[in-house]
Structure 1
Amino acid sequence: MTTDPDTTETAPRPGEPADEAGTEAGSPGAGSGEGTASERSEAEAELAAQRVERERIERRKAERKGPIAAGGKLSGTAADLLAAVRAVESGEKPVRRTTPGPAGGPAPAVRRAAAPEPVRRPQPVVAPPVAPSAPAEAALSAVRAVLVEGGAPESLAPRAAAALGDGAQTLLRADPWQLLRVGGVRPKQADGFARALLGAECRPDDARRARAMTVWLLEQAALAGHTALEASALEAALGRYAVPDPEAAVRDALAEGEALLFEDALETAPAASEEEDEESERPVRMLIGLERYALAEESLADGLARLINSAPQEAGSAEDWEGAAEAARGSTAELIRAVAGHGLVLHTGGEASRSEPAALLQAAHRLGVRAWAAVHSPAGRRALAERLSRPGPADDGAGAPDGRSALPDERSGLPGERSGLPRGRFGLPHDVSAEESAVVTVAGLLAGSEGPGRDVDGALDLELLIVFDAPRLDVETAALLVESLPDGARLVLSGDPGVLESAGPGRVFADLLAARACPQIASRTPDPGPIGELVSAIGIGELPQIDAPGKEVVIVPVRDAGEAVHRTVQLVADSVPRALGVPAEETQVITPGHGGAAGTRALNAALKERLNPGPGRFGGFDPGDRVAYSPAPGRTLPGRVVTADAEGLRLECSGAPVVVPKEQVARSVRHGWALTAHQAVGQQWRAVVVVLPGDAARALTRPWVYTAFGRASGHLSVVHGVEQALPRAVAEALAKPRTTRLPVLLRPQVPTA
């Protein structure tokens, strides 16, 4: 396995692209699958709801005051960028929007300070989203003709028409580099397309190419998790792609409104000397970003400030909340007390700590609070609902008494009083409790297909929302959630800060933890057993020898990738079922990347041949195949192939039928016996086999190892071929930093702890 983007999950450096061929299903850049009229609505309704919400956010932004002037004493590139923006603002060229940063003074003035009690503007009622119609055949034919003329595959026509909208064929003829807006297209391919269409007029210094490359690099940065890039990093990336004048390219993109300029004050600036001019400005960081992520990050900061600065609704008296806290123990009691008095609370901990927000949900229902819990997948919803439905040990801050992990999986549960709230909703059995019926998916909640619905102002009709696996929230999803909360609502974000960050741009949970602007409750419920001990040690940078008398942790050394594949198949198909009684269907293989001799493709091929051989007559799939289905970027649903017909490939995902149209199968469905850690995050299996071939060493980081090893609830086998690279990665290789603006945007609006 090599370490290029096609074989590892390593994110690109700022400004560097992610290889589309290596983008995992369920990560940005992966295709979105569609289903039947009912199943198709999940992904399409989510996207439509997001469009409606973004339009509302943009209307709110338009009502605000103009940007704060700054940058008068800047020089070099920063001064050139500001000069370009101010020139076009004076009338030379239209700029859609810019956000300069702080003016001089002792404190950064990123935008405006929030009032102590922000007032939420009335929101329009969000109508049920309407699935977008497919492009007309005549339009597709016209796009195909242009693509063929330029030497591009005509199979790109549907995606090009969707990405470029009406008149896509005209736009491509006028500016062939717009082909870069189509997912999966690389600069070399766009350059070849442009040469075929423009002939001698195609030049490396073409301003159209420079603008398109600037936007493409910012989109690639978003795939790597950044919401913006430093101007210097963006210019360096443009230089690597043979843009002759990167500074001019950035200025032109700003002038045309393709990108936005941000001027953010540095958090720690040297104290000004007495001799310095009083009008001197604080040092700033020049960032370039795309409008969609800027709007999302600013909207998220506003919504979070509203939650933090406003008093929560009187949903349950203070005495009732205190009584609920006294009835709990350990960090669960601390969590209940924090939620009683604050609009935003962060909760951190490992897998076993999920019992605490689950207990909070039950306590809130006993107080009559309209509380809901949101997870990221139907499998997570079912697991949490089953956990809430079964009796179990009360929380005492020490985990389950039998030494097993107190996980929200199919084999564990928490006590819960039955209440009088509605039952039998959202696909759960009719006799479920109120807590069970109040578990929804994030996508379903935003789309309106699950949850409490919205009030007359367009806000979610609830008083408390608990989001599990909060590190998986990207900035756009988080903004939609927070903006949808009514005034006075309480929000709890719960998750493990040690796992891999969101597949989409932003690091919302980590940024909020670093901001220390609201209560943070750290769980004292440890993950028990040898696996829990191992994962906890990895979280602090150690890789100890673990005593595992019940073979909970097994190391399988291998010499090369071929042996790694052989031993993996042997473990899944024979050793683990025979020695531990865990069938192959409940064992998951995790490896660093898709390509290479021991990536997911090679492992899935070998596992299919052993476990479910067949000709792959349905687009490479056979009935019974385990699959990973990506209904939308950043989401992976485990499933199994049922059959196929004229409508498409029929799957069963977490008990629900799904139909993926045949034209979407190649982009949204992969075999699923082996996954990457990003695909597996947020899920657990009874047995996990982590494959670490020797040439995967450079892909390993502490968050990756922590996430992969933590997916096992009962048994962990490590197919180990990286020698000392594994302890080095755990001790030294931290997550690559993401460039985000949320901390800067929050700083002037909320108090710090």
Structure 2
Amino acid sequence: MPGAGRRVGPGAPLPRSRLEHPVTTEQTPAGDTEGAASPAPTPAEGTSGGATEVATGAAGDGGAEVSGGGAEPTAQAAETAGDRRDDAGAPDDGEPRSGGRTDGADASARTPSAGAPEDAGAVSGTGDGGAEVDAGDVENGGPAAEAGASGSAEGASAPSEAEAELAAQRVERERIARRKAERQGPVESGGKLSGRAADLLAAVRAVESGEKASAPTFVEAAPAPRRPAPEPVRRPEPVPVTAAPDAETVGAVWAVLAEGGAPEALAPQAAAALGDGAEDTLRADPWQLLRVAGVRPEQADGFARALLGAECRPDDERRGRALTVWLLEQAAVAGHTALDLPALTEALGKRTVPDPDEAVQSALAEGDALVFQDALEEPGAQSAAAGTDEEEVPVRVLAGLERYALAEESLADALARLVNSVPKETEEPWEAAVGALTRGAADLARQVAGHGLVLHTGGEAARSEPAALLGAARAAGLRAFAVCHTPDGARRLAAYLGEEPGGAVGTVAGLLSGASGPGRDAEGALDLDLLIVLDAPQLDVEAAAMLAESLPDGARLVLSGDPAVLWSAGPGRVFADLLAVPACPQVASRVPDPGPLGELVSGIGVGELVQVEAPGKEIVIVPVRDAGEAVHRTVQLVADSVPRAFGVPPEETVVITPGHGGAAGTRALNTVLKERLNPGPGRFGGFDPGDRIVHSPAPGRTVPGRVVRADAEGLHLECAGAPVVVPRELVESRVRHGWALTAHQAVGGRWPAAVVVLPGDAANVLTRPWVYTAFGRADRHLSVVHGVEQALPRAVAESVAKPRTTRLRTLLRVQLPPAG
């Protein structure tokens, strides 16, 4: 698609409406040309080609492996059997396989015995026996035989030179006579054949004569034994500790903040965000204070006025540049990886920036932001451009931060590499895995066997299909692993396999950190044939890029999840973008979630809030008039009603509410729930031993746990069965009480009982994905504290997910052809 991925360099005039598009080099899918090295695909202009590695040709077909970073081919595609040698004349030990692995078989020419399996690393000659040596050329008077006979005669009687010459002539005449006699006699058909060709001829003759063949000639050769995966070295999960700036740096920053009237509490954060020389940076550009989380533009303006005095002006170039970066960072918090340029300039205008275009140009010149132009994907865009030249295809101009732009480009490159590196023919272990499964799991395995990337959709019960695929793949000898968004998801997936988490199931964060998983090979790639990622909608663009880049060539990637749940907390909508691009197989599960809860959630997924029969009181609606009553009834349900009626203790019940603030937000609910369930003075930052908490080691990651104790090291927690120590200075930003959560914090987990609180002031923030996610966290019982009246069915029917601006879909349309 023209125009995708084109970057506009700093200093160039920003396009307004229709812009010229770069010409995209057409790339040949891997394996289309056998026996020749395909050229490395040219990435779209402006993409990160240095990290791209595309394997061309299937394993064993002589294709050369080409690296986007400029690596030389690892094998010559035009070599033939018998000529395969390295520069020193030694035999080549085989071509690199997918993922950099090398079979131990020798790829040099040799004479296989009849019926012997062909070597997987050798290049076959033309026809059966094409690389063999005919035995008839060396028997009875061949060069070796003659030399041996002559040498024996000479050593026995030491004849004269004339006698030796006569003897040699006599031997030659006898050999010529034998050859003439052989030509005059009948010639047996196939007499010169050997190896597999001779076996095939013998089998044909046996069938023609009515006899039984002596050997199963047509049985496929046994595959070469697979290289066993080495046992990875398990490392304990590192405790996420951010290196705090030294006291001298914090003191210097505090002095600058105090001079500008900013609060002292910002000093450690400003020193950490701005790094070395933070105080000099703030004096030179006071608006850099916007890089500190939580600082608003009006606060930065006040700080700048205090430091600069009369020199502080709204049209200051530094102010426009800092506000541009701040707006892009706020967009990333909302899930966008880029912003439309008109939306960005409009937002800058609302912040009293006199010349928004100049502010964007300044940010581009300093490298703080990037600008792209991508072809429009709206339904009317192509029809509007029909019949026009390629240069007039309409585009949209986007601006974004470099980290997210590079992540999307790297993800698109890595997915294209996986799709194009799968061998054309299905390998035997994959055939065994498919044969061991039935119904939906077999359909999923069949697609995975032949494709490098497969999408799988379904609800909670549908997790049984990727679980069955994981078990069958491991039983067939494939190196397979599965990851989930949360430890609770990993526990539930491992339960399908009948084992504990850790062996074949882990979390995304654990796999990327090396705390769990199969380990990595010599090239740094995950030592895997199959990676299954559940809870795929929770993958942000950076985590998805790291996973895809870590897989070796030839590996399969399965992304499985429920597309109706809330999207990732981080920027991007990876799973939704992939579903919108028909570049890989998509398998929709037909396994429904059981019971009244499954029926209710399924209806919400299609926009209908249906009334379902719940004879066991699986669903209870508790109407309330205001937020105070909502809090009172919530505590009553968690502490008394649900334990008494359903036998679910309070520690196994989750409370879900739309936000942290407000009269019925997580803060208010956690305060009253702590007073009722675990009262205490809160001696360490408001926490006491036994408190339920959620630990957020990184943005977008929330792990439930409980407080064990507190000491000089920090707050000791137990999260997902593992001990975690949070330093004192990080407790406030990383630990919250966890009886009540938001839907984003609860996604990826399930509890025996859930109480969903919908106070009246939450009517405007409810959406279908939020309701679907919150109601779907209950396994056995759901109580809805209902105070929004008709806003709930209206949100389910009309309020779909808010759109996110990303570039991944456009990049994928360029790099991946439509799936057949």
Q: Which residue of 1 aligns with 2:780?
A: 714
Q: Is 1:237 aligned to 2:347, yes or no?
A: yes
Q: 1:476 to 1:275 in 2, by over 3 A?
A: closer
2:409 to 286, 298, 306: 298
Residue 198 of structure 1 aligns to a residue in which SS? helix
Letter in 1 for 2:492: A
Q: 1:529 to 1:250 in 2, by over 3 A?
A: same
Following the alignment from structure 1 to structure 2, what is the Cα–Cα distance between the partners of residues 177 and 217?
A: 13
> What is the Cα deviation at residue 728 of structure 1?
0.6
Q: Which residue of 1 aligns with 2:478?
A: 369
2:22 to 95, 98, 103: 103
Letter in 1 for 2:373: E
Q: Is 1:329 aligned to 2:255, yes or no?
A: no
Counting only pairs closer than 5 Å after superposition, residues 154-233 of structure 1 correspond to structure 2 as 154-233=264-343
Q: Is 1:359 aligned to 2:486, yes or no?
A: no
Residue 12 of structure 2 aligns to a residue in which SS? helix
Residue 588 of structure 1 aligns to a residue in which SS? strand
> What is the Cα deviation at residue 564 of structure 1?
0.6
Q: 1:273 to 1:218 in 2, by over 3 A?
A: closer
Residue 239 of structure 1 aligns to a residue in which SS? helix
Following the alignment from structure 1 to structure 2, what is the Cα–Cα distance between the partners of residues 531 and 354?
A: 17
1:641 to 693, 707, 710: 707
Q: Is 1:682 aligned to 2:682, yes or no?
A: no
Q: 1:529 to 1:273 in 2, by over 3 A?
A: closer
Letter in 1 for 2:474: H
Q: Which residue of 2 aligns with 1:462?
A: 528
Count of residues paired in the alignment: 619
Is the 8 Å Cα contact of residues 591 and 676 (structure 1) preserved in structure 2? yes
Q: Which residue of 1 aligns with 2:166?
A: none
Following the alignment from structure 2 to structure 1, what is the Cα–Cα distance between the partners of residues 346 and 560?
A: 38
CA displacement 1:512-558 (0-9 Å, x = unmatched): 00002101111111100000000001000000001000010111111
Q: Is 1:261 aligned to 2:180, yes or no?
A: no
Following the alignment from structure 1 to structure 2, what is the Cα–Cα distance between the partners of residues 443 and 134?
A: 23
> What is the Cα deviation at residue 152 of structure 1?
1.6
Q: Which residue of 1 aligns with 2:630?
A: 564
Higher relative contact order (CA 8 A, sep 6+): 1
Following the alignment from structure 2 to structure 1, what is the Cα–Cα distance between the partners of residues 382 and 725?
A: 59
Following the alignment from structure 1 to structure 2, what is the Cα–Cα distance between the partners of residues 69 and 590?
A: 41
Q: 1:116 to 1:750 in 2, by over 3 A?
A: farther
Following the alignment from structure 1 to structure 2, what is the Cα–Cα distance between the partners of residues 305 and 339?
A: 15
Q: CA RMSD in A?
A: 2.8
Q: Is 1:140 aligned to 2:250, yes or no?
A: yes
Letter in 2 for 1:580: F
Letter in 1 for 2:713: E
> What is the Cα deviation at residue 664 of structure 1?
0.9
Q: 1:669 to 1:589 in 2, by over 3 A?
A: same
Counting only pairs closer than 5 Å after superposition, residues 433-512 of structure 1 correspond to structure 2 as 437-512=503-578
Q: Which residue of 1 aligns with 2:455?
A: 346
> What is the Cα deviation at residue 213 of structure 1?
0.4
> What is the Cα deviation at residue 250 of structure 1?
1.2
Q: Which residue of 1 aligns with 2:189?
A: none
Q: Is 1:552 aligned to 2:618, yes or no?
A: yes
Q: Which residue of 1 aligns with 2:198?
A: none
Q: Which residue of 2 aligns with 1:380?
A: 489
Is the 8 Å Cα contact of residues 3 and 374 (structure 2) preserved in structure 1? no
Is the 8 Å Cα contact of residues 70 and 103 (structure 1) preserved in structure 2? no
Residue 814 of structure 2 aligns to a residue in which SS? coil
Q: Which residue of 1 aligns with 2:422?
A: 311
Q: 1:101 to 1:715 in 2, by over 3 A?
A: farther
Letter in 1 for 2:395: V
> What is the Cα deviation at residue 270 of structure 1?
4.0
2:11 to 80, 85, 91: 85
Residue 701 of structure 2 aligns to a residue in which SS? coil
Q: Is 1:701 aligned to 2:767, yes or no?
A: yes
> What is the Cα deviation at residue 444 of structure 1?
1.9
Q: Is 1:285 aligned to 2:351, yes or no?
A: no
Residue 592 of structure 2 aligns to a residue in which SS? coil
Q: Which residue of 1 aligns with 2:83?
A: none
Following the alignment from structure 1 to structure 2, what is the Cα–Cα distance between the partners of residues 617 and 338?
A: 56
> What is the Cα deviation at residue 617 of structure 1?
1.5
Following the alignment from structure 2 to structure 1, what is the Cα–Cα distance between the partners of residues 485 and 665?
A: 25
Letter in 2 for 1:290: L
CA displacement 1:45-70 (0-9 Å, x = unmatched): xxxxxxxxxxxxxxxxxxxxxx9899
Is the 8 Å Cα contact of residues 4 and 374 (structure 2) preserved in structure 1? no
Q: 1:232 to 1:379 in 2, by over 3 A?
A: same
Is the 8 Å Cα contact of residues 104 and 279 (structure 1) preserved in structure 2? no
> What is the Cα deviation at residue 560 of structure 1?
0.8
Q: Which residue of 1 aligns with 2:116?
A: none
Is the 8 Å Cα contact of residues 103 and 281 (structure 1) preserved in structure 2? no
Following the alignment from structure 1 to structure 2, what is the Cα–Cα distance between the partners of residues 682 and 567?
A: 26
Is the 8 Å Cα contact of residues 349 and 523 (structure 1) preserved in structure 2? yes
Following the alignment from structure 1 to structure 2, what is the Cα–Cα distance between the partners of residues 543 and 343?
A: 38
Following the alignment from structure 2 to structure 1, what is the Cα–Cα distance between the partners of residues 420 and 543?
A: 22
Q: Is 1:621 aligned to 2:687, yes or no?
A: yes
Percent identical residues: 70
Q: 1:612 to 1:281 in 2, by over 3 A?
A: same
Following the alignment from structure 1 to structure 2, what is the Cα–Cα distance between the partners of residues 562 and 369?
A: 56
Is the 8 Å Cα contact of residues 101 and 265 (structure 1) preserved in structure 2? no
Q: Which residue of 1 aligns with 2:359?
A: 249
Q: 1:174 to 1:545 in 2, by over 3 A?
A: same
Following the alignment from structure 2 to structure 1, what is the Cα–Cα distance between the partners of residues 266 and 719?
A: 28
Following the alignment from structure 1 to structure 2, what is the Cα–Cα distance between the partners of residues 515 and 150?
A: 51
Residue 392 of structure 2 aligns to a residue in which SS? coil
> What is the Cα deviation at residue 279 of structure 1?
6.3
> What is the Cα deviation at residue 375 of structure 1?
1.7
Q: Which runs of 5+ in 1 are unaligned?
A: 1-66, 72-80, 89-99, 391-431
Is the 8 Å Cα contact of residues 8 and 370 (structure 2) preserved in structure 1? no
> What is the Cα deviation at residue 385 of structure 1?
2.8
CA displacement 1:662-714 (0-9 Å, x = unmatched): 11111111111100000000000000000001110111000000000000011
Q: Which runs of 5+ in 2 are unaligned?
A: 28-42, 57-64, 72-98, 101-232
Residue 450 of structure 1 aligns to a residue in which SS? coil
Following the alignment from structure 1 to structure 2, what is the Cα–Cα distance between the partners of residues 201 and 296?
A: 39
CA displacement 1:129-152 (0-9 Å, x = unmatched): 997743232222212211222222
Letter in 1 for 2:811: L
Structure with bigger gyration radius? 2
Is the 8 Å Cα contact of residues 287 and 322 (structure 2) preserved in structure 1? yes
Q: Is 1:585 aligned to 2:585, yes or no?
A: no
Letter in 1 for 2:300: A
Following the alignment from structure 1 to structure 2, what is the Cα–Cα distance between the partners of residues 155 and 734?
A: 40
Is the 8 Å Cα contact of residues 104 and 281 (structure 1) preserved in structure 2? no
Following the alignment from structure 2 to structure 1, what is the Cα–Cα distance between the partners of residues 558 and 629?
A: 46
Q: 1:543 to 1:343 in 2, by over 3 A?
A: same
Q: 1:69 to 1:614 in 2, by over 3 A?
A: closer
Residue 249 of structure 1 aligns to a residue in which SS? helix
Following the alignment from structure 2 to structure 1, what is the Cα–Cα distance between the partners of residues 546 and 317?
A: 35
Q: 1:84 to 1:652 in 2, by over 3 A?
A: closer
Instruction: Compute the TM-score of the two structures, normalised by the length of structure 2.
Output: 0.72
Q: Which residue of 2 aligns with 1:414?
A: none
Is the 8 Å Cα contact of residues 531 and 553 (structure 1) preserved in structure 2? yes
